[in-house]
Amino acid sequence: MPFTTDLPPLNYIDGHWVRPASNAAIEMICPSDGHVVGQIARGNAQDIDAAVAAARRAFDGEWGRTTATERGRLLSRLGLAILAHQEELAQLEANDTGKPLKLARSDVLATARYFEYYGGGADKVHGDTIPFLDGYQVMIVREPRGVTGHIIPWNYPAQMFGRTLGAALATGNATVLKPAEEACLSIVRLTQLAAEVGFPAGAINLVTGYGEEAGAALSSHKGIDFLSFTGSPEVGTLIQKSAADNHVPCVLELGGKSPQLVFEDADLDKALPVVINAIIQNAGQTCSAGSRVLVQRSIYEKVVAALAARMNAVRVGPHEADLDCGPVISKVQHERVAGFLERARQDGIPVIGEGRLDERAARSGFFVKPTLLGPVPLDHELAYEEVFGPVLVVIPFDDENDALRIANGTEYGLIAGVWTENGARQIRVAKKLRVGQVYLNGYGAGGGIELPFGGFKRSGHGREKGFEALREYTVAKTIVMNHG
């Protein structure tokens, strides 16, 4: 019997599970075989109105009066509840997204870590004092933004719940969350857990549904004080336009074309498994996937041969087979990735390595063979467009300056990996890369909740994770006191 959930297709507004105004539901499909896993509510503008109003009442009421200590305690309790339900949440996540179970399990752990981390951070957001004129005392108080709107994607639903709500709740904002229509069942369950641990009504509101309906209604809502969005650059532009119309700030995380730079003195035994994993993890559907590998020409043939051998050994299968790579999220995403591969074939880009489909991979699943291609010319779309699938492109470079030129040569700038044993070069290159995170002799696609994260250029702006997020979700108020 395929796994199904009986989570009700309801929104969570003002502390109650309620039917959507549309009275309609959306079926959630398992990418491993296409079976229906469950249903979510099809929320629309009316539901968003109710959710924003509930958040405003919470912010002006009980939730707004909650002390930092109490908020921290609630977040910590939610972290513990998530740990206690790790296996249940991981099953839900794996069936909803198709990701291998081991990845779903580590995602749920990371979700718990967000609430542990921000639970501990809630009462450590300090203000400042500023020396001023004689007879004056100046205080800088960090206040919450108010009602925050959160629109997130389907690639890591559970983790994204923690990433986007953790810091917002820790700092006392009242939140409205619109997750992705492709996958968000774990979020419905996480919201149930949040209600159980005692978050007051209106602190967390969940409206599920389509981007064009519920999402657009949320991002353009006049009652929102701050917007957080993770997803495509195209929708990121729409979100930023809405934010501009309403004069509210926003944080945008819009993906990347993140490079791994492999210099001739790199420790290849250390580097190559990480390079492969950084593109097959979550079937390449990670904003910080390492989707370009730049290799110094003197070791190009050797590295390409070794990468090809590793790519050929990768097997793809359903989530329950628990291999290193699962299906992509949907038919649409499958077609998108297949389109990139087909155009590359027509353009004569050599395929150097290719993973295999496991025999358990159903024909009805959205499987893509992980593919290594190269050399890819810099003016080919594969060298600069985000594929969001298990597709790794190899590009040769001559020297350090050439490597930097290529690495910085796309419109994106999210993260990068640098492989070299030369310490001076490590820091030189790290400082010149126009990205938000640089890994020296390592790579971390996804995790690291303690580490500030965000992009430059088309990858977006603002920072999430770590203490930086606590700053994003607060705003400085200057209080000037004349006691002379």
- For residue 57, with 0-12 CB atoms within 10 Å meaning exposed, 13-18 middle and 19 or more buried, which class applies? middle
Binders of ligand NAI among residues 177 to 216 (CB under 6 A) are 178, 180-181, 211-212, 215-216
Taking residues 153 to 172 in sequence order and writing x for each that binds ligand NAI by CB under 6 A, - otherwise, the string is x-x-----------------
Which one of the listed residues 30, 184, 250, 287 is annotated catalytic? 287
State the minimum distance, in angstroms, from the CB of residue 430 to ligand NAI. 22
Shorter beta-carbon distance to ligand NAI: residue 226 or 263 = 226
State the minimum distance, in angstroms, from the CB of residue 133 to ligand NAI. 47
Q: Is 180 helix (H, G, I), strand (E, B) or coil?
A: coil
C-alpha pair distances (Å), 316 with each of 4, 319, 348, 446, 478: 23, 9, 25, 20, 55
Q: In what order do the strands lie in the sheet with 351-354?
A: 351-354, 371-373, 391-397, 290-296, 258-262, 415-419, 437-440
Q: Is 336 in the site for ligand NAI (CB under 6 A)?
A: yes
Binding footprint of ligand NAI, residue count (CB under 6 A) = 25
Is 62 an active-site residue? no
State the minimum distance, in angstroms, from the CB of residue 270 to ligand NAI. 27
Is 30 an active-site residue? no
Taking residues 376 to 405 in sequence order and writing x for each that binds ligand NAI by CB under 6 A, - otherwise, the string is ----------x-x-----------------
Q: Is 370 in the site for ligand NAI (CB under 6 A)?
A: no
State the minimum distance, in angstroms, from the CB of residue 212 to ligand NAI. 5
Contact 159, 456 (CB under 8 A): no
Q: Is 241 helix (H, G, I), strand (E, B) or coil?
A: helix
Question: What is d(CA 46, CA 17) in angstroms, rounded to the nearest whole number?
Answer: 15
Helix runs in 85-150, H state only = 86-97, 101-121
At 201, list the tokens: 């009504």
Q: Following DSSP, what letter does each residue of 372-429 receive, concatenated?
A: EE-PPPTTSHHHHS---SSEEEEEEESSHHHHHHHHT-SS--SEEEEE-S-HHHHHHH
Name every residue whose Cβ is closer than 8 Å to that of residue 136 and which is 6 or more positions away in sequence: 480, 481, 482, 483, 484
Residue nearest ligand NAI (C-beta atom) = 211
Shorter beta-carbon distance to ligand NAI: residue 161 or 397 = 161
Q: Is 26 in the site for ligand NAI (CB under 6 A)?
A: no
Name the one range near ligand NAI by CB under 6 A: 67-75, 131-139, 173-181, 416-424: 173-181
Shorter beta-carbon distance to ligand NAI: residue 155 or 296 = 155
- Binder of ligand NAI out of 81, 92, 112, 235 (CB under 6 A): 235
Contact 170, 72 (CB under 8 A): yes
Of 311, 320, 277, give the one whose Cα is nearest residue 101.
320
Q: Is 219 in the site for ligand NAI (CB under 6 A)?
A: yes
Question: What is d(CA 378, CA 373) in angstroms, rounded to the nearest whole number?
Answer: 13
Name the one range near ligand NAI by CB under 6 A: 101-109, 161-169, 248-256, 368-376: 248-256
State the minimum distance, in angstroms, from the CB of residue 218 to ligand NAI. 7
Shorter beta-carbon distance to ligand NAI: residue 26 or 125 = 26
Question: What is d(CA 303, CA 472) in angstroms, rounded to the nearest whole number?
Answer: 41
SS (H, E, C) 261-323: EECCCCCHHHHHHHHHHHHHHHHHCCCCCEEEEEEEHHHHHHHHHHHHHHHHCCEECCHHHCC
Shorter beta-carbon distance to ligand NAI: residue 152 or 271 = 152
Q: Is 261 in the site for ligand NAI (CB under 6 A)?
A: no
State the minimum distance, in angstroms, from the CB of residue 425 to ligand NAI. 29
Q: Following DSSP, what letter does each residue of 60-96 receive, concatenated?
A: HSHHHH--HHHHHHHHHHHHHHHHHTHHHHHHHHHHH
Shorter beta-carbon distance to ligand NAI: residue 230 or 240 = 230
Q: Is 238 in the site for ligand NAI (CB under 6 A)?
A: yes
Q: Is 149 in the site for ligand NAI (CB under 6 A)?
A: no
Active-site residue list: 253, 287
Residues at the interface with ligand NAI (CB under 6 A): 151-153, 155, 178, 180-181, 211-212, 215-216, 219, 230-232, 235, 238, 253-255, 287, 333, 336, 386, 388
